[in-house]
Amino acid sequence: MSNEEAVSRFVERFASELTEAGMQRMAARVFAALLASETASMTSAELAEQLQISPAAVSGAVRYLSQVDMVSREREPGSRRDRYVLHNELWYETFANRDKVLTRWEKVLREGADMLGPDTAAGARAAETAEFFEFVQEELLGMLERWRARKAAAGSASSG
């Protein structure tokens, strides 16, 4: 199997997993293609050619990926073409940003538990769900700290 075939297989397999998890299909394919590219960046034309999709499909996928902070647009030096680039520390940032969402959900759930009444089954469910999100946030922060430490240790080990 050629390298190009291997990349294509990986892109389609990972995109399928992302789609199964709820990501839009074209966005998943574009994201996987960027992840599999050597520079973590490609132009719209390169993405369209590699994935055999229309420029409009690339545009829609990139718009979605930009909205969820997974890619950014950069102007190609000396050109009028844009390159689409995966964010540095993409997974770390994605999970770190979940913290903000979890905080909002927890707040609404606590307010809901009060509104529904602590003595009702619905109020108790909302309160328990708020507790769960509080727990997830605490664990997420610890996990991200451990990841940073692990990454730093690996960086110092490989440079030494």
Q: 3-state secondary structure string, 83-131?
A: EEEECCCHHHHHHHHHHHHHHHHHHHHHHHHHHHCCCCHHHHHHHHHHH
- pLDDT for the residue numbered 160: 55
* CATH number of the domain located at residue range(s) 3-86 in this protein: 1.10.10.10
Total-model pTM: 0.72
| 55-107 per-position pLDDT tens digit | 999 999 999 998 888 898 888 777 778 899 987 777 777 777 777 778 888 99
Cβ-in-10-Å burial (0-12, 13-18, 19+) of 78 comes to exposed
What's the alpha-carbon Rg for the chain, to the nearest Å? 20
Q: With left for phi above 0 and alpha for psi between -120 and 50, is residue 113 left, alpha or beta?
A: alpha
Using a pLDDT cut of 90, give the percent of the chain over it. Answer: 54
For the beta carbon of residue 49, count every other beta carbon within 10 angstroms.
12
Q: Which of 73-82, 109-118, 125-134, 146-155 has the lowest mean pLDDT?
A: 73-82
- What residues are paired with 42 via a beta bridge? 84
Cβ neighbours of residue 83 closer than 8 Å, sequence gap 6 or more: 41, 42, 43, 73, 74, 75, 76
Place of tokens 């997830």: 136
- The residue ranking higher by pLDDT, 34 or 160, is 34
